[in-house]
Structure 1
Amino acid sequence: MSTIYVLSVLAIVIIAMIFLISVVNLHPVISLLFAAIALGIGLKVPWEDLEGVINSGFASTIEDVAIVIVLGSILGKVLEETGAARKLTNSTVKLVGEKRVIWAIGISSLILGIPIFADTVVILLIPVVSVLAQKTKKSMISYGSALYVGALVTSSLIPPTPGPIAAASLLNVPLSEVIIWGTVVAVPSVLAAVAYCNTLKEEVQPKEEYLISNNDDNQEKLPKLTSSLAPIFLPLVLIVGNTVINALYPDSFIANFFAFIGSPLAALLSGCILSLILTGQKWKSKTVLNDWVESSLGAAAMPIVVTGMGGALAEFIKQTGVADNIGSIVGDTNFPGILIPIIIAALIHIITGSNTLGVMTTAALVAPMLNGLGISPLVALLGCGAGALMFKHTNSSGFWVTVSLSNMNVKQGIKGVSVSSTIAGFVGAIITSILHYSGII
């Protein structure tokens, strides 16, 4: 097969997949399955081998991520239900003062976006943010956009949200490295986006119903700040600690011990167990031990299966030489390899509206191409995360949740949410490029 033929088949399959998701509204799981089958047929994989390749790619991809995504979903559910998210925001506002409230909102959202989906962070905190906007006489276009973009960035770059976990598995990057370098990229990206949000002065009043249900009045019912933060940071500390201890004391008892408790599975399980302190006496109830877990399983199922389907797509790319063809083109034209994951993730995100899908699918596509692109797996992952932040707009549920609950119209939403997310993506892409070309990663 010629290079032109191979690349043409790949391009047609990707365009068709995006069309099915964004125009036909076919679920991403089925769209990816059709794409994998079509790619296999187009690249002349024997008919009798198609199912085996799909199953192999699916199974090998989810074996490392399925349980971790489930545990991350459970942890996020506990933080939602117990008021830990609202406690963190209230405490951060007290720390920075009312004159710098927007920075408190951005920082709180950044932290909460680690275990909780960005849409959910907005739903949880919009009453608190609305009251703060009224107290400080600031616009909801500014506060609402800052609330969303902080969680959006971390959900693309820092585990245990599904996007970066799946990308880490597909690209074979240790989660400890993703946590460290994802944070390095995420923090300045959020700060740049929040700085832009702080310049938005167009008057948008908060919704009346959120002012009536002032969550600050219920602050005495919220958990302590240390209890709220501990379940978030314990897994991160254990995962990073595992890497550090194994580097300092290889093959020792403590290194072997940390190899387990610092594994993503054990670390997140520890965070889930610790989060029970937030539930008080309710921890023994069926609501906590069964109903919250069942709800979390439903939320985790989609990203797990999407990740597996992405792995099936990647398996065809690996087995049929697509990666070699793309790598040779990049090498011959001197096109910067680092731009490939950024551009692909941005296109998938802009067209489908899902940053998680942008991160996962792009990681699956570029994983077999890394040698030809001349970038490390970690650089590719960060590029996927940064690209998948570009221009959040009207085809995204997160856009509509933020715009509607913040009392914005579409034009204001584009000015606030779309531009701030694009700024975050560009800053993330620039930082990733600097880290790559300087040889740091």
Structure 2
Amino acid sequence: MIAIVLGMLIVLSGVLFLRLHAFLALFFGALVVAAATSPHSISDSALQHTTATIAQVSGRRVTLTDVGSDLGSEAGAYYLVDATDDTGKLVGPSIVWVENFEGSEDERFANLGQPLPGDLNVSKAWLVSQENYAQATKLAKNSAINRVASALGSTFGKIGILIAMASIIGQCLLASGAAERIVLGIRQAMGERWTTPAFVISSFVLAIPVFFDTVFLLMLPLARAMARRTGRDYLMYVMSIIVGGTLAHSLVPPTPGPLFVATELNVSIGAMVIGGIGVGFWGVVAGYLYMVWANRRWDIPLRMTEEAAVAGGTLPENEQLPGFTISILPVFVPIVLLAMKTVYQAVEPIDGGVLLDVVGATISFLGDKNIALSLGAVLAMLTLVGKPSVTWESLSKSVQKALADGGVVVLITCAGGAFGEMIRQTNIGATIADALPASAGGLGLLVTAFVITLLIRVIQGSATVAMITAIGIVVPVANQMGLPFHPVFLALAIGCGSKPLPWMNDSGFWVISRMSGFTEKETLKTFSVLLTIMGVVSFLATLVFAMFSIWLTSNG
């Protein structure tokens, strides 16, 4: 626990007081946690879900409980490790031959090839495969910097390509004018009377591949132009952009925060997208109602500050923009491919011969998250190539800028992944799981995840850093306790926790305040309250859906 507190203090003080880059703060925090963690905790954390506890012995038949998902079920030589050993390393395990495993996951039996050692306290023993034991021993012997570097590389392997491709999609949509075409197309389809819902939908669609700050800066000129045209409702136009954009920022991949959380919990991108939209919808409804109420209560005028002047205030000419179909494809195609794979995997496989096998293999290939986002990036580059003024050199510069911007995000996210992995290696999951009442169950873990993320968010400001920091604490607890529902609900709870109570330590707070011309007080009572309402309501929706999932499982 001391190691975790030290690491958290380094991250928070580095970001808040020393103004370190988030990558450096997270990296140094991970290094300190790694150095302060005992080898015994490291090995225990590695073995925690690759073991089984021996409950009863009857001859050569052993009843197993708490069977880890990665224990294995093949006959062979297994280690019996004393779980009470606190010497700081794994010493002298007994070897037992297991002929076969049988039984359900809740109660599994092992038939032994020879009796258990007579001097072994079986009530305090773990059954571990030799391979898992060797990996845990090797990990415990690794130096702190090697473990941090390994965790950095592992995280990059999971999300590096995704963030790079999402950055290319976002940059090309901006450079080609496709992003503006999406906004104008949705607004024209819905009519001027429905401008605010059109802004909500547009900002949500754009915030999937484009970072929220960029979406806000892109759409603010449209909000200012509409306020000039109508002479009213400037606050509502600005808040409608925030409502849609922040939904995707916290709940829908491939935005880095939800992408990383989904990856760490082994939740498919398609499931996270569907779940994020499902619970986020209720947050949007609540936020929209507050937006309408706030617009009636406070008449915030359109002010032209120095910063706001940069954002402009005129609607672009339609003929200068690409067509709506080609503009929306880079966002639409990856979402469809990811959703197709998610649905295909959820449906019971049908033996339909060679044709269905080919279709299934095609869906699995194209629906792979890296392939889907890469296809989106290719389509996004085509929107830029289609402009008469664009050369291969300018296309290359756009891609270079996208990769440079995305590279910074990759570094921060990978450092966050390393920090989370070092926290997991302290075996904090077992400690928190033991502290939580048994009656809390999975719903108690959802509340814990929400509160932990919210606290980190309030302290240091960044929603993304809050999510990637909280997941390192929450995942080991979830692994220790088990989940009575799909892990997507835990990922959504963390995403919801990253929304509430943004204030002056959040960069987004100042972007919105300065660019929109709001005072600090006006930003607090509009933007800060809006996100808090959306986060809380979305979390309540997550709880309801999780309880419904548990009910379906128990009555299915």
TM-score (normalizing by structure 1): 0.91
- Report the equivalent of 1:397: 507
Contact residue 36 and residue 313 of structure 1 kept, 8 A: yes
Contact residue 221 and residue 315 of structure 2 kept, 8 A: no
- Report the equivalent of 1:127: 221
What is the CA–CA distance in structure 2 between the aligned matches of 1:193 and 1:362, rounded to whole Å?
25
SS at match of 2:503: coil
Higher strand share: 2
Deviates more, 1:96-105 or 1:20-29: 96-105
Query: Structure 2 vs 1, CA of residues 276 and 26 (structure 1 numbering), >3 Å: closer, same or farther?
Result: closer
Question: Gaps (5+ residues) in structure 2?
Answer: 40-139, 351-355
Would you say 1:113 and 2:207 are equivalent positions?
Answer: yes
**Amino acid paired to 2:288:** V
- Per-residue CA deviations over 1:112-155 (Å, capped at 9, x if unaligned) read 11111110011111111111122233343332122123212201
**Amino acid paired to 2:496:** A
- Report the equivalent of 1:137: 231
- Report the equivalent of 1:171: 265
SS at match of 2:436: helix
Contact residue 367 and residue 377 of structure 1 kept, 8 A: no
What is the CA–CA distance in structure 1 between the aligned matches of 2:284 and 2:313, rounded to whole Å?
27
**Amino acid paired to 1:339:** V
Question: What's the RMSD between the two structures over aligned residues?
Answer: 2.4
Q: How does 1:239-254 map to 2 (within 5 A)?
A: 239-246=338-345, 247=347, 249=349, 252-254=357-359
Contact residue 130 and residue 211 of structure 1 kept, 8 A: no
Would you say 1:56 and 2:162 are equivalent positions?
Answer: no
User: In the comparison of the two structures, how many residue pairs are matched?
Assistant: 435
**Amino acid paired to 1:286:** W
SS at match of 2:293: coil
Query: Structure 2 vs 1, CA of residues 241 and 19 (structure 1 numbering), >3 Å: closer, same or farther?
Result: same
What is the CA–CA distance in structure 2 between the aligned matches of 1:17 and 1:80, rounded to whole Å?
33
Q: How does 1:186-201 map to 2 (within 5 A)?
A: 186-201=280-295
Would you say 1:229 and 2:328 are equivalent positions?
Answer: yes
Contact residue 6 and residue 32 of structure 2 kept, 8 A: no
- Report the equivalent of 1:342: 450
Contact residue 276 and residue 283 of structure 1 kept, 8 A: no
Query: Structure 2 vs 1, CA of residues 316 and 331 (structure 1 numbering), >3 Å: closer, same or farther?
Result: farther
What is the CA–CA distance in structure 2 between the aligned matches of 1:17 and 1:43, rounded to whole Å?
17
Query: Structure 2 vs 1, CA of residues 254 and 108 (structure 1 numbering), >3 Å: closer, same or farther?
Result: same
Would you say 1:428 and 2:538 are equivalent positions?
Answer: yes
Query: Structure 2 vs 1, CA of residues 317 and 206 (structure 1 numbering), >3 Å: closer, same or farther?
Result: same
- Per-residue CA deviations over 1:171-227 (Å, capped at 9, x if unaligned) read 211111111111112222223212211222322333457699554351221222222
- Per-residue CA deviations over 1:34-92 (Å, capped at 9, x if unaligned) read 22222223332478521222122222222021011100010011111122222222233
Contact residue 496 and residue 535 of structure 2 kept, 8 A: yes
What is the CA–CA distance in structure 1 between the aligned matches of 2:311 and 2:519, rounded to whole Å?
22
SS at match of 1:340: helix
Deviates more, 1:105-114 or 1:83-92: 83-92
What is the CA–CA distance in structure 2 between the aligned matches of 1:347 and 1:134, rounded to whole Å?
39
Contact residue 433 and residue 481 of structure 2 kept, 8 A: yes
- Report the equivalent of 1:371: 479
Would you say 1:162 and 2:268 are equivalent positions?
Answer: no
Contact residue 176 and residue 387 of structure 2 kept, 8 A: no
Query: Structure 2 vs 1, CA of residues 113 and 72 (structure 1 numbering), >3 Å: closer, same or farther?
Result: same
Identity score, percent: 27
Deviates more, 1:102-111 or 1:415-424: 102-111
**Amino acid paired to 1:418:** S
**Amino acid paired to 1:390:** P
The one of 392, 396, 399 aligned to 1:286: 392
The one of 315, 319, 323 aligned to 1:220: 319
What is the CA–CA distance in structure 2 between the aligned matches of 1:212 and 1:181, rounded to whole Å?
34
Q: How does 1:43-82 map to 2 (within 5 A)?
A: 43-45=37-39, 49-82=143-176
Structure 1 or 2, whichever has the larger Rg, is: 2
Contact residue 458 and residue 501 of structure 2 kept, 8 A: yes
SS at match of 1:199: helix
- Report the equivalent of 1:23: 17
The one of 375, 381, 385 aligned to 1:276: 381
Contact residue 11 and residue 26 of structure 2 kept, 8 A: yes
Higher normalized contact order (CA 8 Å, seq sep 6+, divided by chain length): 1
**Amino acid paired to 1:25:** R
Question: Gaps (5+ residues) in structure 1?
Answer: 1-5
Query: Structure 2 vs 1, CA of residues 271 and 90 (structure 1 numbering), >3 Å: closer, same or farther?
Result: same
Contact residue 317 and residue 323 of structure 1 kept, 8 A: no
- Per-residue CA deviations over 1:318-377 (Å, capped at 9, x if unaligned) read 333211111111135848111122112112222222111122222233122213455453
Contact residue 99 and residue 136 of structure 1 kept, 8 A: no
TM-score (normalizing by structure 2): 0.73
What is the CA–CA distance in structure 2 between the aligned matches of 1:224 and 1:284, rounded to whole Å?
16
- Report the equivalent of 2:194: 100
What is the CA–CA distance in structure 2 between the aligned matches of 1:98 and 1:127, rounded to whole Å?
16
What is the CA–CA distance in structure 2 between the aligned matches of 1:286 and 1:395, rounded to whole Å?
41
SS at match of 1:64: helix
Would you say 1:261 and 2:366 are equivalent positions?
Answer: yes
- Report the equivalent of 2:302: 206
Q: How does 1:286-365 map to 2 (within 5 A)?
A: 286-331=392-437, 334=440, 336-365=444-473
What is the CA–CA distance in structure 2 between the aligned matches of 1:256 and 1:87, rounded to whole Å?
35
What is the CA–CA distance in structure 1 between the aligned matches of 2:349 and 2:174, rounded to whole Å?
38
Query: Structure 2 vs 1, CA of residues 212 and 123 (structure 1 numbering), >3 Å: closer, same or farther?
Result: closer
What is the CA–CA distance in structure 1 between the aligned matches of 2:233 and 2:536, rounded to whole Å?
25
What is the CA–CA distance in structure 1 between the aligned matches of 2:207 and 2:201, rounded to whole Å?
10
Query: Structure 2 vs 1, CA of residues 160 and 287 (structure 1 numbering), >3 Å: closer, same or farther?
Result: farther
